[in-house]
Amino acid sequence: MSDVVGYEVRGRIAVVTIDNPPVNALGHAVRVGLIEQIDRAVADDAAGAIVLIGAGRTFPAGADIREFDQPPRDPHLLTILDSFDAVEKPIVAALHGTALGGGLELTLGCHFRVAAPGARVGTPEVKLGIFPGAAGTQRLPRVAGLDHALELIVMGEPIGAAKALDYGIVDEIIEGDLLDGAIAFAEKVLEDGTPRPISSEPKEGIGTPEQFAEVIQKYRDLAARRMRGQESPLEAIESVLDGLRMPYEQAVAADRERFPRCKDSDQSKALRYAFFAEREAAKIPGVGKEIQPRPVETGAVIGAGTMGGGIIMCFADSGIPVTAIETSQEALDRGRIDEAEMARRVALISTSLDYSDVGGADLIIEAAFEDLELKKEIFAQLDGVAKPGAILATNTSYMDINQIAAATGRPEDVIGLHFFVPANVMKMLEVVRTDTSSPEAVATGMRVARAFGKVGGLAGVSHGFVANRSRAPLVREAIFLVEEGATPAQIDQVLRDFGLPMGVLAVSDLSGIDVSWRMRQSLAHLRDPEERYVHLADRLCEMGRFGRKTGSGWYTYGDGGSLPVPDPEVDEIAAAVAAEQGIERRQIDDAEILHRCLYAAVNEGAKIVEEGVALRASDIDIMWQYGFGFPRWRGGIMYHADRVGLPEVLARVEEFHAAHGKLWQPSALLCDLAASGGSFTG
The least CB distance from residue 512 to ligand NAD, in Å, is 8
Q: Got the DSSP string for 122-142?
A: E-GGGGGT---TTTHHHHHHH
Which residues lie below 8 Å from residue 343, measured CB to CB, with a gap of 6+?
Answer: none
* Pairing state between β 49-54 and 13-18: parallel
- CB nearer ligand NAD, residue 462 or residue 487: 462
Report in angstroms how near the CB of residue 369 gets to ligand NAD at its nearest: 5
Helix (H/G/I), strand (E/B), else coil: 171:
coil
- The minimum distance between CB 472 and ligand NAD, in angstroms, equals 13
The helix or strand, by DSSP H or E, that contains position 9, with its residue range, turns out to be: strand 5-10
**For the CA atoms of the chain, what is the radius of gyration?**
28
Query: 205, 144 in Cβ contact below 8 A?
Result: no
The torsion angles phi and psi of 417, rounded to 5 degrees, stand at -125, 95
Q: How far is the CB of 303 from ligand NAD (least distance, A)?
A: 3
- Secondary structure of 265-279 as H, E, C letters: CHHHHHHHHHHHHHH
Q: Could you tell me which of 592, 626, 599 has the C-alpha nearest to residue 680? A: 599
Indicate the helix (H) or strand (E) that contains 93. Answer: strand 91-95
Q: Are the beta carbons of 233 and 223 closer than 8 angstroms?
A: yes
Sequence-ordered strand ranges (E) for 190-291:
none
Name beta bridge partners: 366: 302, 394
State the nearest-atom distance from the C-beta of 430 to ligand NAD, in Å: 9
Instruction: Please identify, using beta-carbon distances, which residue of 123 and 468 lies nearer to ligand NAD.
Output: 468
Question: Closer CB to ligand NAD, residue 241 or residue 506?
Answer: 506
Give the CB-nearest residue to ligand NAD.
305
- Work out how close the CB of 304 gets to ligand NAD at its nearest, in angstroms, rounded to a whole number: 6
Question: Which residues, at least 6 apart from 227, have a Cβ–Cβ distance to it below 8 Å?
Answer: 126, 233, 633
Dist. CA 622–CA 92, nearest whole Å: 40
Closest CB 334 distance from ligand NAD, rounded Å? 8
Cβ closest to ligand NAD, residue 65 vs residue 374: 374
- Contacts with ligand NAD, residue ranges (CB under 6 A): 302-308, 325-327, 331, 367-370, 374, 378, 395-397, 419, 421, 511
Out of 8, 125, 235, 531, the active site residue is: 125
Strand order across the beta sheet in which 13-18 lies? 5-10, 13-18, 49-54, 91-95, 112-115, 172-173
106 versus 449: smaller Cβ distance to ligand NAD = 449
Q: Which is nearer to ligand NAD, 269 or 418 (CB)?
A: 418
- The DSSP-derived string for 22-77 is TTT---HHHHHHHHHHHHHHHH-TT-SEEEEEESTT-S--S--GGGTTS---SSPH
Q: Whose CA is closest to 359, among 299, 295, 442, 414?
A: 299
Alpha-helix runs per DSSP H in 325-371: 329-334, 339-344
User: What is the maximum span of the chain, computed from C-alpha positions, in angstroms?
Assistant: 93
- Of residues 105, 235, 326, 484, which has the active-site annotation? 105
Residue 337 in 3-state DSSP? coil
State the distance between the two ends of the chain, measured CA to CA, in whole angstroms.
Answer: 39
> Cα 426–431–599 angle (5° rounding)?
70
**In sequence order, what are the beta bridge partners of 365?**
301, 393
Query: One-letter amino acid identity for 405?
Result: A
Of 119 and 432, the one with the shorter C-beta distance to ligand NAD is 432
Cis before 501 (ω within 30): no
Please, which residues have CB within 8 angstroms of residue 532's CB and are 6 or more apart in sequence? 480, 660, 661, 662, 663
* Residue nearer to ligand NAD on the CB measure, 302 or 407: 302
CB of 119 to ligand NAD, least distance (A): 38
Minimum CB separation of residue 422 from ligand NAD in Å reads 9
CB of 513 to ligand NAD, least distance (A): 12
The rounded distance, in Å, linking the Cα atoms of 447 and 456 is 8
Residue 63 or 404 with smaller CB distance to ligand NAD: 404
Q: Which residues contact 574 (CB under 8 A, 6 or more apart)?
A: 482, 483, 485, 536, 585
User: Side chain identity at 559, as an amino acid letter?
Assistant: D
- Please state the closest distance from residue 543 (CB atom) to ligand NAD, in A: 22
Which of residues 143 and 461 has its CB atom nearest to ligand NAD in the complex? 461
Nearest to 311 by CA among 332, 329, 337: 337
Q: Which lies closer to ligand NAD via its Cβ, residue 53 or residue 432? A: 432
Is 105 a known active-site residue? Answer: yes
Q: What are φ and ψ of residue 159, in 5° steps?
A: -125, 160
Query: Does residue 477 carry a catalytic annotation?
Result: no
Whichever of 65 and 421 has its CB closer to ligand NAD, that residue is 421
Least separation, in Å, of the C-beta of 500 and ligand NAD?
17
Catalytic residue annotation: 105, 125
